[in-house]
Amino acid sequence: MASNMRISGLASGMDIDKLVSDLMKAERMPLDKLYQKKQILEWQRDDYRSMNILLQDLDNYIFNNLTLQSSMLKKKTVSSDESVVTATANTSAANISTNLTVTKIATAATWVSAAASSYTPSGTDTTLKINVTNGDGTSPTNPVTITIAANSSLDAVISQLNSNSDLGITVFRDTQTGKISITKKDTGAAASLVMADATTASFFQQLGFTGAANGAELTGKTAGVDAQFTINGLTTTRSTNTFTINNVTYTLKKAGTATVTTTNDIDATFNVIKGFVDKYNEIIGKINAKLSEERYRDYPPLTDEQKKSMTDKQIELWEAKAKSGLLRRDSILSGGLSQMRLDVYSKVSDPTINPNYDTLSEIGITTSSNYRDSGKLIIDETKLRAAIEKDPNSIYQLFNANGTTFDTKGIARRLRDTIKSTIGKIEQKAGRTVWTNQQFSIGRDLNQLNSQIDAFNDRLKQIEARYYRQFTAMEKAINKANSQSAYLMNAFGGGTK
């Protein structure tokens, strides 16, 4: 233990700790280089991942908008009198005008008790069985069975009846009269509630439906009504006020006459395509900015020691330059952008596309003539709207043609393929946040650097210990020499006395 003791300059008068610290600064310089290299790799990894977020953002827009017929081929409906009827149309609806004369609006069946409820909770469970017919004539699996728990209050009973989806009813009790009202949730003339056994009939008698009987329709009924209307001369009925005919969904509001016109929703399609162009320009602009960032090699990452002598603002400005240009001229990103430009510029060869609209330029989307824009797209709004109005299906296919080769694939499908490939390459380089370092190349480099840093730290500990041993030996030698000198002086001084 004594051999490891450090003597701090008592004999020499030197500041040994400072001397060792200064010597170790020089020894530590290669370690600082390793830490700086590690920091650069971590920044580069994060930059790559931020690029993948941008690419994924573009892919999500394309998938959620350009690839969906419901977004690209929307239809617009206009009713001449929305107080009589409103309508919506799906993408398959024809562009036509439909005349409707509404005679009756569909209503729901109701049952009102003849007397106030005399219900008292039972000390045992009660099982109700009701045969249900919906307003359109369909039925759930009958009988619908409900078990009322022992000692259930009237409010609990009403809540249980309301919550049963097979019954499909709304029940409430009027606090002034004590009577109970039941309304079928769906409309239509066919609705009925039939007591399936004597226990159920007796239970509803307690609720005030005094005429309830086993095997009979619940009393106090006002029958539901089917909607009756004439559409383009044909008189027909529906059990509900909302129904679909020829891909147009109509909602009847009241008796009367109205005309519903269905057309292509040019604005909706235009906005989806414009949104794509804006998103595409935004993403390639940000990626191009990264590719062209200046690299400041005279600004390496700061060491902890260097940061101690700098203000926060100085550190911020320095690190902005240190982080700059880490993806400059990156081959993965530049290759991905080049392929994306090819994806959007190239003709789509598909028989379902009008040959007048088989490229973006033919529908009014061209490349900026300014080279600084790095391939950004420019929209001629008038030309694009005209193309959408004339042939929306060709516009949809221009983006979504489902070919098996590059030439026959739509632009959206090409772009998604390129984005997926580019993201995959970046992940092999920089990984994902949930990946371990061993799963991607920068991570493996970081692991190797960490091993080098650990080994170098062990080496520095040995070097520091060696310095202290050397200075300790020097101190001991000086101390010994001082002791011998003092002895001799004492000896000679004693002789003269």
Q: Which of 13-17, 332-336, 396-400, 467-471 has the lowest mean pLDDT?
A: 13-17
Predicted confidence at residue 492, as pLDDT, reads: 74
Inter-residue contact 203 to 126 (CB < 8 Å): yes
Confidence band (pLDDT; 50, 70, 90) for 495? very low
Q: Is the pLDDT of residue 1 over 80?
A: no
Per-residue confidence (pLDDT) for residue 7, from 0 to 100: 53
Pairing of strands 126-133, 227-231: unpaired
The runs of H, that is alpha helices, within 346-440 are 381-390, 392-400, 411-430
pLDDT (tens digit per residue) in 147-181: 999 999 999 999 999 999 999 999 999 999 999 99
Give bridge partners of residue 100 from the DSSP assignment. Answer: 231, 258
Alpha helices in 302-349 (DSSP H): 304-308, 312-323, 331-345
Mean pLDDT of 283-302: 95
- Which long-range contacts (C-beta less than 8 Å, at least 24 apart) are formed by 156-161? 157/119
pLDDT at residue 5 greater than cutoff 60: no
**Over pLDDT 90: what percentage of the chain?**
81
Mean pLDDT across the stretch 86-110?
Answer: 96
Q: Average per-residue pLDDT in the chain?
A: 92
pTM for the model stands at 0.77
Tokens read off for 229:
């209307």
State the DSSP H helix or E strand holding residue 99, giving kind and residue range, or none if neither: strand 97-104
Task: Say how far apart CA 460 and CA 24 lie, in whole Å.
Answer: 8
* Percent helix, strand and coil across the chain, each to the nearest 5: 50, 20, 35
Task: Give the pLDDT band of residue 496 (cuts 50, 70, 90).
Answer: very low
Residues 153 and 166: their CA atoms lie apart, in Å, by: 22
Q: What is the mean pLDDT of residues 434-441?
A: 96
Q: What is the mean pLDDT of residues 95-121?
A: 97
Q: Which residue type, as a one-letter code, is found at position 406?
A: F
- Does residue 434 register a pLDDT over 80? yes
pLDDT band at residue 474 under the 50/70/90 scheme? confident
CA 253 to chain centre: 38
What confidence score (pLDDT) does residue 337 get? 96
DSSP type of residue 402: B
- pLDDT tens sequence across 232-280: 999 999 999 999 999 999 999 999 999 999 999 999 999 999 999 999 9
How many angstroms separate the CA atoms of 344 and 283, rounded? 14
User: Which residue is listed with tokens 């789509």?
Assistant: 348
Give the pairing of strands 144-148 and 126-133: antiparallel
Strand partners, 194: 131, 217
Mean pLDDT of 380-397: 96
Transcribe 412-423 into DSSP letters: HHHHHHHHHHHH
Q: Place 13 in a pLDDT band, splitting at 50, 70 and 90.
A: low
pLDDT more than 70, % of the chain = 96
